[in-house]
Amino acid sequence: MVSFTDSIRQQALALGFDTVGFTTPDAIKGAAAHLKEFIENEHHGTMTWMEKRTDERSHPNALWPEAKSVIMLGVNYGPEEDPRSLLTMPNKANVSVYARGKDYHDIIKKRLKVLARWMVSEVPSELKVFVDTAPVMEKPLAGAAGLGWQGKHTNLVSPEFGSWLFLGAIYTTLELETSEPHENQCGSCTACLDVCPTDAFTGPYKMDARRCISYLTIELKEEIPLEFRRALGNRIYGCDDCLSACPWNKFAQLSAEARFHAKEHLKSPNLAELVILDDANFRTLFSGSPVKRIGRNRFIRNVLYAIGNSGEKSHLPAVDALLSDESEVVRSAANWAKGELTP
């Protein structure tokens, strides 16, 4: 006889999820201490939202006391090729793989809601769905649910999909059979730590977000500290270096979801075309993309840093035009880029 847990798994796979696992709310007891240390060391930088609701983040039952089980689901967003190949093309812009296609939040949340409605129709219960929108520690829960393990780069590593999984969660009042947690198989490998351009890792499984290029280009609203600007290279939104370096990516595969494939204009965009975007054109170009959330000014700031690193003087007219931009952060980045191109 097929259990309801197996039925949920089959239904989830039919809806387009690539991997499914089951755990309990108390399965991540070590997460609280890790989060506490991270915040006490101020490694979260300006992400002050991480200081709030830490108990709910660390303990699922603090977020919802009635929850008896947690269903963790993953969708593969594996790219066509190693995104680091763009790093050798200084006049191109490197956008993180997850942001080259459609924003995953809406796509995955819709699937979670369809699965949730089906579950309730089969077995009446209460449940809540989450996709990076609440104090939920998706990666520890995914590890506890057997989807993979948290690698030394702090991200989830899947034996089937490498480092390329979007995660979603369903908290439910049902008591479901649990999956076996996945054994950590990083071994002595430090490839992800060694490749980091800004030395953001303070040790295995520990990161200082204030040094991470993803944090610097996406979360940080002001100027990026001088010490990191050259290390940015042509990375204008996020960084995939530690993910790409993981040897487990030898098992990675191209995402079956076409909406997660890179849009043509984001595969290898030209810096010269991006730096001239005004607010309206920025919003149009990045409609439906996660890139839109940082706004035109922060985006142009990042593009200007990349231009400064390009060594290409043909960018100077565009840089000069931005020296009087309305945004202070853009003007500052333009000044730095000009200085780098005209030493």
Distance of CA 74 to the CA centre of its chain: 13
Cα-Cα-Cα-Cα torsion 80, 81, 87, 93, nearest 10 degrees, comes to -10
Residues with a known catalytic role: 132
Both tokens assigned to 340: 């780098």
Both tokens assigned to 179: 């999956």
**Residue of 123, 129, 29 lying closest to 70 (CA atoms):** 129
Say how far apart CA 52 and CA 252 lie, in whole Å.
35
Look up tokens 């108390």; give the residue.
26
Say how far apart CA 277 and CA 87 lie, in whole Å.
22
Give whole-number Cα distances, 16 to 11, 12, 19, 173, in Å.
Answer: 9, 7, 9, 24
Buried b (16+ CB within 10 A) or exposed e, 268-281: ebebbebbebeeee
- Taken in order 257, 261, 263, 266, is the CA torsion positive or negative? positive
Say how far apart CA 34 and CA 13 lie, in whole Å.
32
Say how far apart CA 12 and CA 67 lie, in whole Å.
20
